[in-house]
Structures are given as C-alpha cells and as structure tokens.
Structure 1
Amino acid sequence: MGNYKSRPTISCTDELKKKISESYALFRSKVIEELRPREADWTEVQLAAANTQDLTVLSQLLNDTNCNERTDTGLTLLHIACLAGAPTSQLERLLKKGKNINVLSKNLFSPLHLATYRGDAEQVEVLVTHGADVNQTGHSGVAALHIAAMCGHREIAKILLESGAKIDMGDVVKFSSLHIACHFGHEKVVELLISNGSDINISGSVGDRPIHLASSKSNLKIMQLLVDGTSQQKADVNVKDDEGHTPLHFCCKSGHLVTLHYLLDHHASPHEVNIYGDTPLHLACYNGKLEIAKQLIAQAGSDSLTMENVFSETPLHSACSYGKNLELVKFLLEQPSIDINYQGKDGHTALHSACYHGHIRCVQFLLENRADMNLVAAVSDQSGDSEKREEQTALMWAYERGFDSIVTLLKHYKRPSDESACGDYSQPGSLDGSYVTVPSPLGKLRSMTKEKIDVLQLRATLPHQFHLQITDLEFQETIGSGSFGKVYKGKCKGKTVAIKRYRASSFGAKSDVDMFCREVAILAKLKSPYVINFVGACLDDPSQFAIVTDYVSGGSMFSLLHEQKRLIDIQSKLTIALDVAKGMEYLHNMPLPIIHRDLNSHNILLEETGHAVVADFGESRFLRSNDEDNMTKQPGNLRWMAPEIFTQCTRYSVKADMFSYSLVVWELLAGELPFAHLKPAAAAAETAYHNTRPPMAITFPKPIVALLQKGWHSNPDERPEFRDIIPILEECKQSQAVAMLSNSELPSATLPLSLPMVTTQDSDGEGRDTPPLAGHVSALRNHWEMEASRNSVSGASDDKRKYPFPQLDKNGYVSDPLSTLRISLSMPLSSSSMSPSSPSLLVPHGDS
C-alpha cells in the first residue's frame, strides 16, 4: 500500500456522511422551493386555498371541477393549504371533496410531508385522522417520521407514532428516524424514539449505527441515552461499521473531548483499527486534534504511537500529512518512543508525508529538528510490475506534486554542521540534479475511496436473491466486448445466461464503477417481458464484478441486420418495433422513471420467437426530476444520439430515448445504418447542427413515416411519448397494406407500379423481379440510377434536365435534399402507380 504514498484525508464513511448531509440539504432546498408561493401563476381557487385571512373565499369558489386543480409543480389545493398554514377547518373543507390525500408533488412531497416540515401539529393531526399514509415515502425515500426527526418536532413524531408510523423504516441510505435524530442532535426526539422501541443498534447503508453519528456530533445527552439504553437493549461502545470504525474513531476525528472521556470511561477500546489500519490516534492526528491526542495517550497509553496503518504511516506521519498543527507534531516528537526519521514499511518518513501534502512550514520544522532529507521510500513501478521498485527522496515527492517552494527549500537547506547544501540526491557538479517524475496514484486512490461507498451501498440494498458468487458461474464463449470488459455466454446454477464481466482493474476507474453500480441497481428493479431479465450480480470482489442476465439466443438487431444481413419481413419488423416501444414505455413509466440513454440496434436483443427485449443499462439512470441539471454529457452511441445530448446539454429528458428509437425504427425498416456514409460523430453532428434526417422509402407504411417525423423532431417537447405510439404501431401491424407487403408470394402485378423491383435468381438460375426489403436504401439507389440512365439515353427534355434525378452516394443517401421534390414532379405516374394513401417517394430531410 506504500505505492499510494500517503493516506487520503477522507474515508468511505466520511463520503457517506457528506452524501447524507448533501441529501438532506437538497431535501430542505426542495421543501423551501415548495414553500415559496408563486401567486402570479396560480388560479383564483388556488389563491383562495392559500388565503388564511378570509376563509369564506374558498367556500364560494370551490366546486367539483376546480377541486382537482394542480399547479405547474404538481401542488394540489391541499398542498397549498398546508404550505400556507391554513387552519384545520380549511383542510377539512378540502378533504370533504374526496381528493386523494396522498398525492405527491413533482418534488415528491405529500401534504403530510409539508405539514410535518412546517411543524404544524394541528394540520398533521387532521391529515392522519382523514387517512393520510404516515409511511408514504417521498423525496430521498424520506417518510414523515424522518422529517419530524430531522426538524426536531417531538410532538408531531409522537402523533405519527401513535398513528402507525414504522419507527425503524429506512430512507434511501437505510437511515432510520433514530439515525436522523442523532445526526441532527435532537435529544427529545431521540428519547421519544427509544422509549417507543426504536432499535438502538440498527444499521445504516455501511453498517453505521446511531451511536456512530452521535459520537461524531458530540452530543453527550444523546450518547448517554444510547449507551444507557433500555432494559432490552443498549448501544455497544465498540461496535464497528463496515469500514471498521468504532464510535471512538468518529469522536477523535471530530475532536470532541467530552465524548472521548465518556467513551473511555465506558470501556471503549482505544487501540482498535479500522480497515485502513487507523487507530483513533491516527484519525486525531490526520485531523490535527492536539488535545484529543494528549488525552488519548494520557489515558490509554502510548501503544498507538508506533502502529502503522496500511499506508505505512504512524500517527507522526499522520500529523505531518495534516501539517497545519505544528504543536501536535512537536508534542508527538517529545514522546519517548518517537523517532523523527522513522521509516514505515515502504520507507517513507514524516518528512515525505509533509512534502507530499505541500506543508512548507511543517517541512521547515522537521528539518530544524534534524529530519534526514536523504532517506528514501521504495515505490512500486507504475507499469504494473510490482517487483520493480524505485527509491524516492522526500524532495522527489514534493517535486512530482509541484511544490516548487519545498523543492527549493530542500535543495538549498543547510544545517550549521553540513558542508554542503546539497543532499545525496544531487548529481556531482550540478546544483539542480536530475529528477524523474512519477505519475501520482493518489487521485486513483481517492476515486477508489469515493466509489467504494457506492459498492457498499449496493451490497446493502440489493435483494438477497440477486447476490451471486463467481463460483456460481461457468464461462463459455465470448459473445461481446466493450471498454468495461467482455460478455460471455455461460451457465449459472444450470441455467444458460449472459455474463457481463468487468475488467479486474475496473474498481479504480470511476466511470466503470458508476456504470456497474447503476446498471445493477436498475436491473434489480425491472420485471417486464420487453426488457432483459436480471439473474444477479457478483459484488464481493472488485476484481470479479459481473452482471448476469438471461441469455437471448437470437443475438442483437445490429448483428441480424448488418452482420448476418438477414431479410426480415415487414410484420416481423413491426413486431420488433412494437416490443421495443413497450419496453421503453415500461421504463419511462416506472414509479422512478428510467432513461435508457443508449438505445440502439446493438442493445436490442432478439429471441428465437422473433420478439425483442431492450438490454444494456450501463448508461441508464433513474430520472428523479424533469428539472435535473446533472445528467452526464454525451452518454451512449453517437450515431443514435439525440441532438440535445450531442450538443453537451446536461438537462434532457426521456424524450431523448424517443429520438434514438426513431432512428432504430428507420434502421429496422431500411436495413441500413443511419447515416452509414458518415462516422458516428459526424452523423450526430449532422442531426444536431444541420437538422438532417435519413430519407423515407416508398415501402415505409404511411403511419410509420408520420411517427418517425414526430419522433426525431429537433424539439424534444414535440416528440410523442411511447404510450402514444404503441396504438399506432399495433394498428399499423394489423393493417391490410402491411399484410400485402409482408406476403412475398404476391404477383408483381398487384404491387404498386412505383415500387422498384430487385432482380434475384431462383434455385434454377433464372432471374425474376421481387419486391425489395421494405425501405432497403440500396435497392432504391439501383432504381434511381436505372431511371437516370434511361433518362440520359432517351434524351431528356429541357424540363427534365432542369429537374435531374437525385444524386445518391454508395449508401443511397441523397446529396441534394431538394432533388427529392423535383423527382416527384418530373416523373409521370399512372393513376394506378400511387394510391391516395401511399407515402411519397422520398420525404425531404428535416423534421417534416
């Protein structure tokens, strides 16, 4: 572990606490947003619901129609009355109208949530009396009791408990109300919860108990309530979270002396180590807590002073990593067992740590106290060959981190007894010496620390039936690959499955861990015949991360169309399009909608029956709000990407999936890649900046043409929902025209005369004309070229030269969009060649 040079200043648990604080800060901001009235946008009856002065106005205006009105943010009249602090008589008047009392706003708050946050016990009493769901969860998985615990509303918490609130219900990070009351320091709520039987030792997402939170907040009264407990249960002062932190670790990190004495008096173990090898003294020194260090050593002895963590650092190293409290460094150096030049297992000294973290005053102090600048640390070669070791001085650590002032100090520092200002690191005859920079792996370690919390959370929240061991899997042939690793066909407990195996190094790569955790979390919530079925995941060892799903034997739509070049009849194509639409409709209408973000023909898998399922949710994410502005830039495959995503937008909606779907349907009908003549980035740029769309073929059913034009509209708001297009696809699939097109045995005389024929050979070698695949662009290209050649040979009139046939490239794309209009004007068509309901020969590029 010395390869990482120095311990990061933040642990997984710290990240979780930060995440919790941010989550509840966001929660508060969302509630405050709801509390902010927007009278300018409200109707007369909505303003009346907010009027607490004249209660007769609402009575006069309220009727069976307007009682259901909602604001743009999804607030009902009951929400508004709760926000305005309306008297209970006003609430009862609204409740008599029979409106659903548990409606959530767009920010996922019910009237009960808002009344609880405001601390209005009378409103809460009325709402629960009239059937409000006390266990309904909203934003961040928070229920009303969580809100009461956060705000310290003891009276409301009591009402909720008496009304059946689940006392140990967890929020999105599995925090109970007791966790939250301890975190926010509300003693009376803690006392109420414990007296009502709350589990004192209940575990959060990463094994953190209420006592861990209380010890980090230094609330002695809450500590006493937990440790004294009840006759049935008491808090364990030495309990560890998933990272091995005891309450004493949190106390020492935060610097709370009163809590420290209380814990030690109650037999807390002072020399316990966490998974990083840190003792409580380490954490006190990493955070510059001098008084904590003094009291720990005075009461618990000096055993921890010489203990190294996994980063080869003693408490002295830790204090120099912090580097801002020289009194702490001085105190440690005064201890009998401390050597200023002590080298950890990897050889680095306290001077190395101070140099690495850029603390020049600490470096100066150490040098003045005879720290040896020539001692070397052995760092593994970054190429991956762990046997290659490079020896580095403290100066090299400062140099590679860019701390020039420290480098200058070390190069020219001269003690009175020294003959030269240069150390052994300098080359003879040179004042500057030669230094080799080594890429720092600390950033990678920090990434690991931040990402590990997501994995721990995933392990805690994933249902037990989805947990798999790598030994449960039998790997067979490779069926796919990507930047994440490989996909295998295999066996899982006797069942044929597909196994997505992540690279062994993926745990150090933020994007891979993000993708893995997000994909598993999403797959575990899916249950539909139109999306891939999740079997389970291997979560125990980062080097063995794997996602297991059902094996779909038909392969991908991409493989079928472009590698196997299979001919598919129009009925089968519409079946695939309809299945994918149903899969996307399911995703978009889940309680927490899922945006796929990477819908393309690679991620549509076909069963032997001809039906399709949507797969690969590595780029997908839950869409918590339509106003989110933190979406990833440019996820997914560029060729099928919506313009708003390609143009670096970070606020987009499920309508981006509709754009991708439209290109997939065009690809399915045409049998060609969208913009096959362009590279993916150029194709995306063409759709985004030039508003270009693929051309329509004459064999596309007219309803599908209209659907595609709407689906790939440049304005996302103009695109339909999947629920809107499913009936169109079903009707189209059942239509007589489609049935005719799918019947390959129909004589050519019954087909539209304008349909270009493709010459094929029978088994006896004789040629015959057959209709091409619906929308097959290469067939259309042959037709146009044949007509153009015929026109040239026969001697076209001046009018026809004025409107030449469109110029198509090798992929059948029209170079001049206007030529598609000219060709329809210049070609004489018999009355039987085009029926009134037939689509035009080619639709010009653009949205319509």
Structure 2
Amino acid sequence: MGQYKSRPKHSCAEEWKKKISESYSVLRSRLSEDLRVKEGVELTDIQAACSRGDLEKIKELVSQDEDLLEKETENGPPPPPPNGLTLLPLSVIPAGERGHVEWLLSQGVEPGQMSKNGFSALHLATYRGDIDLMKLLLDHKADISLSGFGGVHPIHIACMCGNEEVVDLLLEQGASVNAQDVVKFSPLHLACYFGHEKIAETLIRHGADINSPGEVGDRPLHLACAKGHLKHVQLLVDGKEENKADVNVRDNEEHTPLHFCCRHGHLPVLNYLLQPDRGVEPHISNIYGDTPLHLACYGGKVEAVKKLVEHTGRDSLSKENIFSETPLHSACTNGRSLELVKFLLGQEDVSVNHQGQDGHTALHSACYHGHIRLVQFLLDNNADMNLVARQQEPSVEGEEKDQQNQTCLMWAYERGHDAIVTLLKHHKRPQDESACGDYSQGGSDGSYVSVPSPLGKLRSLTKEKIDVLHLRSTLPQKFHLQIGDIEFQETIGSGSFGKVYKGKCKGTTVAVKRYRANAFCAKSDVDMFCREVSILCKLNSDYVIKFVGACLEDPSQFAIVTEYVSGGSLFSLLHEQKSYQDRDPRVIDLQSKITVALDVAKGMEYLHNLKQPIIHRDLNSHNILLHESGHSVVADFGESRFLKSQDDENMTKQPGNLRWMAPEVFTQCTKYSIKADVFSYSLVLWELLAGELPFAHLKPAAAAADMAYRNTRPPIAITFPKQITYLLQIGWHPTPEERPEFKQIVKKLQECKESVESATAAISGTTVTFSSGAPIPATSAENGTVPTPGHVNALRKQWESAGAGIGKPQGLTMEDIRKVLPTFPSPNKNGYVSDPLSTLRLNPNISYTSSHPPPLPPATTEPS
C-alpha cells in the first residue's frame, strides 16, 4: 500500500470523465455566447448591422466604404478584429430571413471566418438547428470538416444536441462519420454519452467505427455503460458481427464496460451484460486491481453488489486491489450504506476482521474516513480494534524503510476524528463485564487499546498553529492571497513539499509553490512554509527572487507566490538542455558565466549582510534561476533561517543537497555559520565553469563524504581564469574561518568580469589568452563574432569548445591535458572511486593554516 491508507476517492478515469462533462458544458456556453451580443461590447457600424440582420444598412455602409468587405476577404480569412467579432458569425445571430447572409457570401465574404470563441457560421447554425442557413452556407462551399473550439466539427455539435435532421444533412453532404475532436471522441461517442439513440443508429448505419478509442482508450460502449443508456448498449453489443462492440474491451486503465456500469450502479445495463451469452468476464481487474465488485462497493451501489454476487458467486469477495482492500474494505471506505456492509458480512467466508496485505481491516477504513455509525456497527459485530496495519515510512538514502504498526484508533486520531477516538476508547463489548478507563489496557481479551499519549502531538500541533497564527498576524496585508486569486497553469517543478506551477495572479505571471494538499500537513512542511514566507517577505534585492504573497488560510491550501523567472534554473541550463554533438558537452561563454556568478554572489552578499543575517543552507544550481536577460537570482528559501548569532548551536543537521554541502554541515555539526554558504557557492562556481556536476561520477552522499573526510575537491582545469581559480581554492577551504566573505568575492568577480570584457573588446577574430595562460577561442562557430552575454535562449546556442576536459584547447599538447585532467573510473559498491587521481585532493603536504592559502587580497591586488 506504500504511503496510501486508502484508495483515492476517484481514479484517473473518473476524473477524466468529470473533465469531459465540464468541457462539453463549456462548449455549450461558448456556442450560446456567440449567438448573442453581450451588453457593453462595442461593435462597428457594419458589425451592428450584421447582428441585426439589417441588409439595407449593410449595403449602405458597404457602398460608402468599398474597403469594408475587402478587409474581410483579401488574402483569405482575415485575422480577427480587435474586439474579436467577425461579420459572418455575427450575421447568424438574428433569426428569420437570411438575405443578408446570402448577400455577404455573394460578395465574397469567407464562410470559414471564426468567431471570438472559435466557431464558424456553420458551427453556430448547426448548434441552432437552422437547416435553411446550413444549406445556404454549404451551397457557398462552407467547410463541413472545419474544426472549431475543442477540435469539434459541426457533426459533433449536431450529435451533442441530438438533432437528427441536422445529422442526416451533414452526413449527406459528406461529413466524416468518424471525425475526432481534441479528445478523440467520434460523433458516436457523443451520441452514446448524451443518450441520443436514433442518432447512434444513423451513425452506425453510415459506417461509424463502434470500437473507436478516445484519448484514454474509452470506447462508445464505455460511455454508454457509464451513463446507463441501455438502448445504446444493446445497439452496440447486438450489432452485426463485423461491426460489433467488444464487451470486455479495456481503456488505458484497463476498465471494462462492466467496471463503469457497476461503479455507477446502472442495474438494467448490469443485468443485460451479465446474461450468459454475452461472454462478460465478471472478475476482471483494472490496473488498480479493482474488480467490478470493488467499484460497486466504492460507489455504495447495494443492488449492483447483490446482483454481482448472485450471478458470479463469491470469487471476487476475497480479491484485494493494490491498496490491500477487499470489497468489504471498499464498502467501509464509502461508508454511507450500512445495508451494503451488512450484506457483505452476511456472505460466507467474509470476516469482519480480515486484514489486507498491509494489515489494515475494514474498521481501519471506516475510522480513517470518519464514518462513526459504521464504526459503531463494526464494533458491535466483533471487529477487533487491536489489529494493526503496517505502514512503511520513507527511507533516508542508504537506509532501509521503517515500518510503523498502527491501530485503527491511531488512524482516526491522525485524521482528527475525535468522536471516533472517544468511541474507541470507551467501547465496551457486550460480553465484557466492565468498561475500562480512557488509558487502561482493559481485560485479558484485548478489547481495549492504549491510546497514544496525545501530549507530544498536541505540543507539535499547538506549535504549528502558533507559528501559522503568528505568520498571519505579522505578514503585511499586501502579501495575503486567497487560493482563488491564483490561476494555475503548467507544472514547472516539484519536490518533497509538493509542486511548483506557472500561473497568473492579479494579471501577473507568477510561480506558485503549492504545498501538498493534505488535510494535515507534515510538521516539517508547516515549519518550512512558515519559515520561507517569513524570510521572503523581508527580502528586497534585484539578486533575490521577488515575493508576491502567500495563501495562509488553510494548511491544505498553503502556497507561496513569487515572480516567474522564465529562463529556468541554472541546473536545467547546464545539465538538462545541453547541446550534444559527437558526445562532447558544451559550455556557455565566459562572460555569461561570470555574469551569473556575480549576480549570485551579490544575492548572497545581500542575505549575509542583513540586520539579521540569513543563511541559505541549500545553495545549489537547482536554486539559481535565470532571467531571459542572462542575469540570475537566488531562490528557494525552504531550508533557510535567520542567524541569531555566529555562536548559534541550534542549527539543523544536514539541511540541503548533499552534493553541494559544506564538510562541517555533512559531519553532523550543529554549529556552523554563513561560511557554509560560501563553500556551496564555490562548488556552484566550479559547476558553472566546468559545465558538469561536482563529482558527477559519485552518488551525492559519497561526494559529500569525500569532501568532508578525504579533503577531495573537483579538478580545476587550466582553462579557468586565474582569479576564479583562486576564488575556488579559498572558497572551499576545509576551515570555515579561512573562507572569504561574499563582499570580497563580489569585488574579485567584478575585476575578473572587467578584464574579460576588456580582452573581448580588444580582439577581432583572434585567440585570447587570459592570465591563466589558457587560450580561449575568440569567435563564434556560427558567425565569427565574439559571443556576448544575452538572453537565456541565446545562451543555450552560444557554446564554446573550451571547458573542463572538453576538447583540446588551442596551444596545448595532449601531455599538458593529461597532467591536469583526471580519468573517471566507475565507483565501487559503496559509491567511491579507488583511483586517487579521479578527483582533485587537497595537497597533503600543505598545511591549511591561516597563512596558506593566504587571505583574499584586496580587489586591486592580483593573487600570486
């Protein structure tokens, strides 16, 4: 069962069907909107005349201005005007005489013009059922297969509306009987979904494909069974042999028509399908392991369950799905039908105390979902509250998963069902002589269980509530948002907290960090959320992500809204969007790299020099975001915290990503400072220059261990500028106190940037040699010009062949390269490499004291 304590209330297929229903409701509303002119919509004179059907006025306006129709017709269908209203769809609005439409068509107005909602005049006439207008449009070559909003053809609209005469006309005029809309529904899908029997017969007679699959593999028979349309089911199943529906056909989740029929409890259809000559497989399972009996129980369909058991026997009663639930568990998950549970318990071999593979019983399910009447019923029927379920807890890397044994009382307690907790604590079986106190173990028969001490959880919950209440009171009102203020769009990231979405908030494009929608968030989630909001609302720097606001009202709707940084993360740019040619990775031009590095350093300098300094604790390439301009910002403050003093010993152990973690943090030290961020920054700087992950050949934990216990560091290429090489060496110094502050790093990077810009400006089609002695190609492979920092999209194309271990730099021999660049053998079973040359180890002959390497010199002094 993993992290699930119950089957999700709705499967993907059920959610899909719900969205389909909503989509066709939207389709109808958009069609209706196009057939009326809203108040307040400003129309041109000719548009207003068309909407009234005033032919004389139309002719008068056209005679006054010959360009009126030319604007509509030249070079094919015109682009929509500013108000989105075109002439021909507007002319469909008035009912009655259609002389104005015929005149417009005779003047060359394109019949395929689309309305503001994406429909042609033929779509609108079909929706209205105006046969005469449809014939007029078709006589003037209106495209009968033109797709409108949602990919619908006119025949889809006719089948949705159930207009037989219109369907006949369209089919006679050559409409495709198997046309598909955007979700791959054919006209027959819609006829079955909306229950239009005569239309379904017409479509089948014209050769409609009965077994045509929709977007998720759903056939017309699936839809007819889900909606309970018996006549359609009979029509599909009893057809001719060459065009007959398969009664056991599966959709993408392996649901058969019988699954849908049972889930919705359509008894007439169920009786029909279960007839012996139909060949239906009654015990067939979907990908979740659900039989039709499971779905009938999840839906609480008593009569359907009785019919299934009567016709199929008891084989499905003991089957478990992937959530370790039998039909009895499923009925208790639904919990709204005591009659159903009574019926199942009355079947032979069904035990009230049956435990699924994960150990949970029907009583666990009822407690988890808060069905108190059902809990009382199960207890009265000898359900054992002492039986335990086993839930696996997520493992830390390299450690085995722990199992927690949980009673049904703990499940109710976790979900906050206080009345059920009280009932379980005080429940006395009829055969017991006396009741027990709240916290006593009870008699020898084990009827009572110890209630876990609530004090620990209460303290935790109280602290969380205090944190949230304090945040609500202290957060400036301008940052308070409602979840309804946000329009969620596509997912752009994810993590243990939940997902990050691109979205809109009050007309602005934003990024939304949405915490998992649990009724009770994990303590760490609440903690992280409150801390991140309290930090973000106090930040104001061009080099740090901009805070827009947060949703604080309900833990299930916690969300943090920030500016949307369109260039994505530095990690994505370096490692996920690389261009490969002959298997050689490419790197970004040096100026752009230094720009990014300088921006990050300025952001960290800002954080470390606040009145109350902030330590990031999770600085890595994932949390550096790039603007399209090529500049960067520091983001993701979920692991950050205010630093009360440099002697603070209450720091969390091992926060952040292991691959970029400072040695003092990895070694479980609880006293570390802002210098841990400097170490992480140095690894990011190396990663930016090299275009590779630090210790890419090692697992993250092994990489952190190598740096902490064996003093290894990533190899420094001879192509790195000398100033940056020095920054790396001192920045990842094993002693935190010897590392520089970001103020010094910013000065040194500014010097480096100026020298690179000067060198770039001084050359034209030659090779530049930096102070490191490493030659850098001066020209771009594409146009012979020097690459300059620019938009992120441009950066992805401006690759150089110079980099750590990339190609052969000009002027170097292979012997030079071999001296500097290591080889990378495979790691051993523990994730380590045995070759001592595989990483750059700090020189063991050098004592890293306060005098070596020397402190970072002033910005005007070159490092020796």
Shorter-normalised TM-score: what interval?
A: 0.5 to 0.7
Q: d(CA) in 2 for partners of 1:302 and 1:430?
A: 33
Q: Verify: 1:555 aligned to 2:588, yes or no.
A: yes
- Give 1:293 deviation, angstroms: 0.4
Task: Indicate the residue corresponding to 1:335 in structure 2.
Answer: 347
Q: Supply the AA of the counterpart residue of 1:434.
A: S
CA shift at 1:137, angstroms? Answer: 1.4
Output the amino acid matched with 2:51: A
Structure 2 distance, partners of 1:26, 1:483, is 27
Who is 1:65 aligned against?
A: 67
- Is structure 2 residue 220 aligned with structure 1 residue 218? no
Correspondence for 2:171: 161
- C-alpha distance in structure 2 between counterparts of 1:183 and 1:14, whole Å: 14
Alpha carbons 2:366, 2:375 under 8 Å: kept: yes
Q: Does the alignment pair 1:46 with 2:85?
A: no
Q: CA deviation at 1:222?
A: 0.9
Distance between the aligned counterparts of 1:547 and 1:228, measured in 2? 54
Which residue is equivalent to 2:158? 148
Letter in 1 for 2:356: G
Q: Which residue of structure 1 lines up, in the alignment, with residue 537 of structure 2?
A: none
Report the Cα offset of residue 157 of structure 1: 2.2
SS at 1:378 equivalent:
strand
Alignment root-mean-square deviation, CA: 4.2
Change (3 A) 1:425 1:316: farther
1:418 paired with 2:419, answer no
Structure 1 residues 197 and 363: alpha-carbon distance in aligned structure 2, compared to 1, 3 A threshold: same
**Pair 1:55–1:345, CA change in 2 (3 A):** same
Q: State the alpha-carbon separation in 1 of the partners of residues 189 and 380 from structure 2.
A: 48
TM-aligned CA deviation for residue 547 of structure 1:
8.6
Structure 1: state its 5+ residue gaps. 440-457, 459-481, 485-502, 515-530, 533-544, 566-596, 605-741, 747-759, 764-771, 777-809, 812-848
Change beyond 3 A, Cα 1:512–1:77: closer
Question: Where in structure 2 are there 5+ consecutive unaligned residues?
Answer: 73-79, 443-447, 461-489, 504-565, 568-574, 599-624, 633-759, 765-769, 774-785, 791-857, 860-864
Q: Which one-letter code corresponds to 1:372 in the other structure? A: D
Whole-Å separation in 1 of the counterparts to 2:271 and 2:317: 19
Amino acid at match of 1:404: D
Q: Which residue does 2:133 correspond to in 1?
A: 123
Match of residue 781 from structure 1: none
1:403 equivalenced with 2:405 (yes/no):
no
The aligned residue for residue 408 of structure 2 is 394
Q: Which residue of 2 aligns with 1:352?
A: 364
Structure 1 length as normaliser, TM-score? 0.53
**1:374–1:425 contact (8 Å) kept in structure 2:** no
CA distance in 2 between counterparts of 1:179 and 1:598 reads: 46
Match of 1:673 in 2: none
Task: Give 1:300 deviation, angstroms.
Answer: 1.4
In structure 1, what is the Cα distance between the partners aligned to 2:285 and 2:30?
39
Asked whether the equivalents of residues 87 and 123 of structure 1 are also in contact (C-alpha less than 8 Å), the reply is no
1:393-415 Cα deviation digits (max 9, x unpaired): 00100111111111111111112
Residue number in structure 2 paired with 1:833: none
Pick closer, same or farther for the CA change 1:132–1:244 going to 2, 3 Å. same
Q: Secondary structure at the match of 2:243?
A: coil
Deviation larger for 75-84 or 268-277: 75-84
Distance (whole Å) between structure 2 residues aligned to residue 337 and residue 102 of structure 1: 66
Deviations 1:742-801 (A, max 9, x none): 99689xxxxxxxxxxxxx99x9xxxxxxxx99999xxxxxxxxxxxxxxxxxxxxxxxxx
What's 2:383 paired with? Answer: 371
Percent identity of equivalent pairs: 50
Q: CA deviation at 1:548?
A: 9.1
- Matched with 2:101 is 91
- How far is the alpha carbon of 1:75 from its aligned partner? 2.2
Match of 1:4, SS state, is coil
Distance 1:215 1:317 in 2: 25
Does the CA-based 8 Å contact 2:153-2:181 persist in structure 1? yes
Change in Cα spacing, 1:602 to 1:360, as seen in structure 2 (3 Å) is farther
Q: Distance in 2 between matches of 1:510 and 1:233?
A: 46
CA contact (8 A) 1:393 1:425 kept: no
C-alpha spacing 1:418/1:548, structure 2 compared with 1 (3 Å): farther
User: In the TM superposition, what is the alpha-carbon distance from 1:154 to its structure 2 partner?
Assistant: 2.3
The alpha-carbon deviation at position 242 of structure 1 amounts to 1.0
Give the 3-state SS of the residue equivalent to 1:278 in structure 2: coil
Cα 1:196–1:73 change in 2 (3 A) is farther
**1:473 — aligned with what?**
none
Q: C-alpha displacement at 1:94, in angstroms?
A: 0.9
Q: Partners of 1:96 and 1:550 in 2: how far apart? A: 57
Correspondence for 2:651: none
SS in 1 for 2:115: coil
Q: 2:332, 2:366 within 8 Å by CA — same for their partners in 1? A: yes
Residue 182 of structure 1 contacts residue 214 of structure 1 at CA under 8 Å; is this kept in 2?
A: yes
Question: What pairs up with 1:636-651 in 2 under 5 angstroms?
Answer: none
Greater displacement, 201-210 / 22-31: 22-31
The answer to whether the aligner puts 1:20 opposite 2:32 as a matched pair is no
Preserved CA contact (<8 Å) 2:338 2:374: yes
Instruction: Say whether the 8 Å CA contact 2:372–2:419 is kept in structure 1.
Output: yes
Question: How many angstroms does 1:307 deviate by?
Answer: 0.8
- Aligned equivalent of 2:318: 306
Post-superposition offset of 1:550: 6.0
Q: Contact 2:360/2:389 (CA < 8 Å) preserved in 1?
A: yes
Specify the alignment match of 1:232 in structure 2: 242
Q: Closer, same or farther in 2 for the Cα pair 1:287/1:169, shift >3 Å?
A: same
Shift of 1:383: 3.7
- Answer yes or no: is 1:362 the counterpart of 2:374: yes
Q: Is the 8 A contact 1:194 1:200 kept in 2?
A: yes
Which residue number corresponds to residue 257 of structure 1? 267
Q: CA deviation at 1:49?
A: 1.7
The change in CA–CA distance for 1:396 and 1:419 in structure 2 (over 3 A counts) is farther
What is the distance in 2 between the residues matched to 1:5 and 1:313?
Answer: 10
Among candidates 119, 124, 127, match of residue 114 of structure 1: 124
Kindly provide the amino acid, as one letter, of the partner of residue 178 in structure 1. Answer: L
Query: Is the 2:579–2:586 Cα contact (8 Å) retained in structure 1?
Result: no
Indicate conservation of the 8 Å contact 2:366/2:374, yes or no: yes
**Cα 1:379/1:559, change in 2 over 3 Å:** same
Does the aligned pair in 1 maintain the 2:320–2:326 contact within 8 Å? yes
| d(CA) in 2 for partners of 1:358, 1:65 | 70
- One-letter amino acid matched to 1:391: N
Shift of 1:31: 1.8
* Partner SS state of residue 145, structure 1: helix
Q: Contact 1:317 / 1:349 at 8 angstroms: preserved in 2?
A: yes
In structure 1, the residue matched to 2:453 is 434
Q: How many angstroms apart in 2 are the aligned matches of 1:317 and 1:416? A: 24
Instruction: Say if 2:145 is the partner of 1:135.
Output: yes
Q: Match for 1:111: what amino acid?
A: A
Q: Map of 1:445-484 to 2, 5 A cutoff?
A: none
The change in CA–CA distance for 1:44 and 1:305 in structure 2 (over 3 A counts) is: same
1:319 lines up with 2:319 in the alignment: no
Kindly report which structure 2 residues correspond to 1:522-561, keeping only aligned pairs within 5 A, or say none: 553=586, 555=588, 559-560=592-593
Quick check: 2:393–2:402 contact (8 Å CA) kept in 1? yes
Aligned pairs for 1:479-494 within 5 A: none
State the Cα distance separating 1:3 from its structure 2 match: 3.8
Amino acid at match of 1:104: M
Q: How far did residue 166 of structure 1 move?
A: 2.6
Q: Do the aligned partners of residues 300 and 546 (structure 1) sit closer, same or farther apart at CA in structure 2, a change above 3 Å counting? A: farther
Kept in 2: contact 1:558–1:601 (CA 8 A): no
- C-alpha distance in 1, partners of 2:287/2:373? 31
The Cα shift of 1:205 comes to 1.3
Q: Distance in 2 between matches of 1:415 and 1:409?
A: 12
SS in 2 for 1:392: strand
Partner secondary structure for residue 418 of structure 1:
coil
Shift of 1:560: 4.5
Q: Deviations over 1:805-845 (max 9, x none)?
A: xxxxx99xxxxxxxxxxxxxxxxxxxxxxxxxxxxxxxxxx
The CA distance in 1 between the partners of 2:200 and 2:590, in whole Å, is 57
C-alpha change, 1:382 and 1:553, in structure 2 (3 Å) is closer
For residues 60-102 of structure 1, give each alpha carbon's deviation from its aligned partner in whole angstroms, at most 9, with x where no partner exists. Answer: 4344333357765422221111122353432211101212211
Whether the 8 Å CA contact 1:290–1:327 is kept in 2: the answer is yes
Indicate if the aligned counterparts of 2:439 and 2:450 stay in contact, CA closer than 8 A. no
